[in-house]
Structures are given as C-alpha cells and as structure tokens.
Amino acid sequence: GAGVSQSPRYKVAKRGQDVALRCDPISGHVSLFWYQQALGQGPEFLTYFQNEAQLDKSGLPSDRFFAERPEGSVSTLKIQRTQQEDSAVYLCASSMATGGVYEQYFGPGTRLTVT
C-alpha cells in the first residue's frame, strides 16, 4: 500500500509570502503529526490530529502557523507571512495509534526555503 505522501517536496518562498504544505497519510491511520526538522537536529513536534480533531498544537511556534485536517484524512500546514527562520524540512507522519500501537511512519518531507 501507499505510504505517507507530501507535497510539494520543495518550496521556495519570498519572505512575507503564505505557503501551504500538504500531507496525505497512510489509509486508515487515525493519527497525523507534523514536525519541523532543522539540519542536524531531531524532529521537533508541531501539532497532532486524531481524525479531524487537533488534539495538540503546543509545538506551533507562532500564530502564523496553522494546521487543519477537515475530513480526517489529508492535512494541510499553512504558514502565513513566512520568515527566514521558518526555513526547515517539514515532516508529516501518521500512525494507527490504536491497540497500543504507536509507530509513526513518515512522508518524504517538504523542504521550505524562505529567501
């Protein structure tokens, strides 16, 4: 079956532009996670959905970051008025998260560069 897919794979934005990053999780996975990864660091948690409900958004760095998953499948991470410090790889992961199974599976990521 298909894994987690993300689009676009690469995005260059001028400072101040809005961007939207898409994640399509593994079919049947109820949990979806967004992470930000800087070079040489582990993934940093941004937000988490269980189905369509956003249960934790404590990792979103500012109110310029917004995520949604309106139908409990595809999710979009939106960054408004991008800044240079937003440049990073944005990773999406999905998980069954039921029956004690919490393994997360990652998409290929979107590399965002803000110029």
Site stretch for another protein (CB under 8 A), options 18-26, 34-42, 69-77, 80-88: 34-42
Distance of CA 29 to the CA centre of its chain: 15
Which of 82/95 has CB closer to another protein?
95
- Tokens 């310029």 -> residue: 64
Site stretch for another protein (CB under 8 A), options 13-21, 67-75, 78-86, 102-110: 102-110
Q: Pick from 45, 52, 54, 87: which binds another protein (CB under 8 A)?
A: 45
Q: What angle do CA 33, 42, 37 make, to 5 degrees?
A: 65
Q: Cβ of residue 16: shortest distance to another protein, in angstroms?
A: 28
Q: Does 33 bind another protein (CB under 8 A)?
A: yes
Sheet with 5-7: list strands edge to edge.
5-7, 19-24, 75-79, 65-68
Q: What angle do CA 2, 69, 57 make, to 5 degrees?
A: 115
Taking residues 53 to 82 in sequence order and writing x for each that binds another protein by CB under 8 A, - otherwise, the string is ---x--------------------------
In the complex, which residues of this chain contact another protein (CB under 8 A)?
Answer: 33, 40-45, 56, 89, 91, 100, 102-109
